[in-house]
Structure 1
Amino acid sequence: MGYGLVRAFDGGSSPGDFELVEYGALTTPAGEPLARRLLSLYSQLNALLDRFHPAEVVVEELFFNRNTTTAIAVGQARGVALLAAANHNLPVQEYTPLQVKQALAGYGRATKDQIQQMVKVLLDLDFIPKPDDAADALALAICHLRGRRFQNLLAEQTDY
Structure 2
Amino acid sequence: MTIILGIDPGSQKTGFGVIESDGNRHRYLSSGVIRLPLVALPTRLDTIFKSLNTIIDEFSPDQAVVEEVFMAKSAGSALKLGQARGAAVVACVSRDITVAEYTARQIKKAVVGTGAASKEQIQEMVKLLLSLPAAPQEDAADALAAAICHANAGGSLAKMALPDAAGRMRRGRLK
Q: What is the TM-score normalised by the length of structure 2?
A: 0.77
State whether structure 2 residue 97 is matched by structure 1 residue 90.
yes
For the Cα contact (< 8 Å) 2:100–2:155, is it kept in 1?
Answer: no
Q: Which ranges of structure 1 fall in alignment gaps of 5 or more residues?
A: 152-160
Report the RMSD for the aligned CA atoms in angstroms.
1.7
Q: Which one is further off, 136-145 or 57-66?
A: 57-66
State whether structure 2 residue 32 is matched by structure 1 residue 24.
yes
Report the structure number with the largest CA radius of gyration. Answer: 1
Which residue of structure 2 lines up, in the alignment, with residue 157 of structure 1? Answer: none
Secondary structure of 1:26's match?
strand
| Deviation, structure 1 residue 150 | 7.1
Secondary structure of 2:37's match?
coil
Judged with a 3 Å threshold, the aligned counterparts in structure 2 of structure 1 residues 28 and 109 are, in CA distance, closer, same or farther, namely closer
Which residue of structure 2 lines up, in the alignment, with residue 62 of structure 1? Answer: 69
1: CA distance between counterparts of 2:121 and 2:48?
29
- Of 36, 52, 55, 2:43 maps to 36
- Of 118, 137, 145, 2:125 maps to 118
Work out which structure has the larger RCO, using CA pairs closer than 8 Å and 6 or more positions apart in sequence. Answer: 1
Amino acid across the alignment from 1:7? E
State whether structure 2 residue 53 is matched by structure 1 residue 46.
yes
Which residue of structure 1 lines up, in the alignment, with residue 21 of structure 2? Answer: 8
Judged with a 3 Å threshold, the aligned counterparts in structure 2 of structure 1 residues 109 and 52 are, in CA distance, closer, same or farther, namely same
Kindly indicate which of the two structures has a greater share of residues assigned to helix: 1
Judged with a 3 Å threshold, the aligned counterparts in structure 2 of structure 1 residues 150 and 93 are, in CA distance, closer, same or farther, namely closer
Judged with a 3 Å threshold, the aligned counterparts in structure 2 of structure 1 residues 29 and 149 are, in CA distance, closer, same or farther, namely closer
Which residue of structure 2 lines up, in the alignment, with residue 107 of structure 1? Answer: 114
Secondary structure of 1:48's match?
helix
Q: Which ranges of structure 2 fall in alignment gaps of 5 or more residues?
A: 1-13, 158-175
- The number of equivalent residue pairs is 144
Kindly indicate which of the two structures has a greater share of residues assigned to strand: 2
Which residue of structure 2 lines up, in the alignment, with residue 72 of structure 1? Answer: 79
Secondary structure of 1:98's match?
helix
Deviations 1:43-67 (A, max 9, x none): 1111111221100110001122232
Q: Identity over the aligned pairs, expressed in percent?
A: 40
